[in-house]
Amino acid sequence: MRDFTYQNGTRVLFGKTAQSAVGTEMRKLGSPVLLHYGSGSIKKTGLYDEVRRLLAHEGLEVFELGGVQPNPRLSLVREGIRLCREKGIASILAVGGGSVIDSAKAIGIGAPHDGDVWDFFTRKAEPTRSLPLGVVLTLPASGSETSISCVLSDGENQDKLASNAAVQRPAFAIMNPEHTFTLPAWQVGCGITDIMGHVMERYFTTEPEVDLTDRLCEATLKTVIDAAPKTLRNPDDYAPRAEIVWAGSLAHNGLLDTGRIGDWATHRIEHELSAFYDVAHGAGLAVLFPAWMRYVYKRDLPRFVQFAVRVWDVDQSFADPEGTALEGIRRMRDFFVSIGMPVTLDGLGIGKDRFDEMATKSQRFGALGQFVKIEKQDVLAILNLALQKDW
C-alpha cells in the first residue's frame, strides 16, 4: 500500500427532499450566485423553478448562464468567467450532470485567475483558488459532484483535457435520485459505464497489497451491475437508482484511490474519441475498456482473474487462468451490450481514418497509463482491437 493523503470535505445531501437545502447551503457560499445549467431540461421537470424559489427565499441575488453542452466547451466557460467578473459573482451553483458541473468548476477557477483558464488544462498553470461551488446533481455518471476533476473541450482545436485540483471540489452536492428518473435510457447506460470506468481505472493498479481498496472497488462495481438492469427496466424505482447515484459519487471521490495509483489510459484515449467525434464519454468507454483489457491482461493475469471471479462471478478455472480472465472481460462487454452501449467503434460510427491523429494527440503529455505504459503504437493497437466484433 502506498502512502497517501485523503480529504474530502464535500457535504453530501442525499435523498428525496435533499434539494430543499439548496438555498441555505448557497447562502453559506455567498451572493450573488451564478446559476449554471445545460439544455434546459431542468425547466421541463420543474427543478429550475424550485431552485430559483429556494434561492430567492434566502434573499440571494442570482445571475444565470445556461446552455452547457455534453463535452462542455471552453467558449461557454470564458463567457461565464466574464459574467462572474462583471457581476462580482461570489459563488456558483451547478444544476445538472458532469458537463454542467465541470463547466462550473472551470468558471470557478478561471474567475479569480489572472491568465487564461485554458492554461490549467494545458498544464501551464495550477489552480490554487476557486469561487465556491454547490451542485444539484441530475445525472449519475461523472462523479464530478464530489470529485476534484474537471474535463473541458476546446471544440475548435479538438482538444479535450482535464484539470485535477483540490480547490475544484464542490462545497456541497445535493443528490436526489428522483431527479434522474426522467433521463433517457441512453444517458443512464452511458452514466453507468462512466461510473464503472472510474472504478476500473483505479482497480487496475500495479500497487501490490491493496486488499481493502480492491474490495471496496469490487463492492461498488457489483452494486452497479446489480442495479443497472433494474433501473433500466423501472426508471422510477427509487431503490436501484439510489444505489447508482451514490455509487457514482463514491466511484470518483478519491476513496478508491487510497493506497494506490490508478491507470487512466482508457479515459485518456476516450477523451480523444470525444474530442474528434463528440461521442458520449460513457459510450466511448464501453468501446475502449474491452479493447484495452484484451491488450493488457497478460501483464497481470492474477489481477484479471480476480476481476473475473470477484466482480463477474466467473467460475474460476484454476487450470486455465487465462480462460478465466478472458471470460471476465467478455462478461463485462456483454454487460455493456445489455445496458444499450456500443462495444465496437463501428457502433459509434467511427472508422480507422483518424486513428493516427488521435494516437498522436493522446501522447501530448507523454505516454498514458500506470498499469501498462501506453505509447502511440499501443493506442493504435487498442483502437484496432476496438474495431473487432468477435474475439
In 263-276, which positions are buried (b, 16+ CB within 10 angstroms) versus exposed (e)? bbbbbbbbbbbbbb
Give the three-class secondary structure for 20: helix
- Which among 185, 169, 385 is positioned nearest to 297, based on CA atoms? 385
- For residues 99 and 213, which CB has a smaller minimum distance to a copy of itself in the complex? 213
Closest approach, Cβ 230 to a copy of itself, in A, equals: 10
Burial class of residue 156 (count of CB atoms within 10 Å of its CB; 0-12, 13-18, 19+): exposed
Q: List interacting residues with a copy of itself (CB under 8 A).
A: 1-18, 208-209, 211-212, 215-216, 218-220, 222-223, 226-227, 238-239, 242-243, 246-247, 250, 255, 258-259
- For residues 110 and 191, which CB has a smaller minimum distance to a copy of itself in the complex? 191
- For residues 238 and 276, which CB has a smaller minimum distance to a copy of itself in the complex? 238
Closest approach, Cβ 178 to a copy of itself, in A, equals: 11
- For residues 20 and 69, which CB has a smaller minimum distance to a copy of itself in the complex? 20
CA atoms of 124 and 81, how far apart (whole Å): 19
Closest approach, Cβ 249 to a copy of itself, in A, equals: 10
- Which among 175, 216, 180, 368 is positioned nearest to 288, based on CA atoms? 368
Q: Which three cell numbers stand for residue 267?
A: 479515459
- For residues 142 and 176, which CB has a smaller minimum distance to a copy of itself in the complex? 176
8 Å CB contact between 75 and 164: no
8 Å CB contact between 96 and 139: yes
Q: Determine if residue 278 is left, alpha or beta; phi over 0 gives left, psi from -120 to 50 gives alpha, anything else beta.
A: left
Closest approach, Cβ 91 to a copy of itself, in A, equals: 18
Closest approach, Cβ 244 to a copy of itself, in A, equals: 9
The torsion angles phi and psi of 388, rounded to 5 degrees, stand at -75, 130
R_g of the chain computed on alpha carbons: 20
- For residues 250 and 385, which CB has a smaller minimum distance to a copy of itself in the complex? 250
Closest approach, Cβ 68 to a copy of itself, in A, equals: 27
Question: For residue 243, what is the enclosing H or E element?
Answer: helix 238-250
- For residues 178 and 201, which CB has a smaller minimum distance to a copy of itself in the complex? 178
Closest approach, Cβ 247 to a copy of itself, in A, equals: 5
